[in-house]
Structure 1
Amino acid sequence: MTPGETAAAIAALTVGIYLIAVSLGAVQLAVNHLVGLAVGVFGVAYIFAGRTRESAFWGGLLAILGVAVAAGGGASPLLVVGVVLVFVALFALAAGRR
């Protein structure tokens, strides 16, 4: 499997688990959470599956986009800055492992 295929499979698994949890009443269904979760998990999985600087960059952008979509328009600026700092650190660590 290519890194993109691996990341897509992990994202699909995560979305499936989320939908099962919704159907069991464990969490509420929210489209922004569903889309944000899928994009964010795909981005993080792509970072670690690709293990190159390019995959770290593009996966990082997707992960930040996923968190922003999941948080919605009412996210506080501190949350956004915190998420960006955490993901930038993860990208640097992942890119340095190659």
Structure 2
Amino acid sequence: MGTQEPARRVTEVGVAFWKGYAGADLVFYTPLLGIALVGHLLRTSWADLSLAAALGVTVYWPIACLWTVKAARGVKGWDLPKEAQYWVVLPIIALWGAVGLILLLLGF
């Protein structure tokens, strides 16, 4: 399981951070989202709760990653030449999750 950036760019701690998020996605988020989507498709009683949890994670992790990118600026060993890409893609993901949560609350 790799990360987006090599250790020479983001330090060993940065690699560990990205691997932590990738591992959490693999073990928790992906199954939760899959189960939630199946439940939503089947219109089960637990679908809204599980989908809300998955969408909450969809909002949370991009914000946490962006906060890390911002906090790491200027830290010795941290060199993220394509930081702008993070500021384009991750807010879109967070917004998608937030819109999904709003639609879920509105009953769509």
Question: When the two structures are superposed, what TM-score results if normalisation uses the length of structure 1?
Answer: 0.43
Bigger radius of gyration: 2
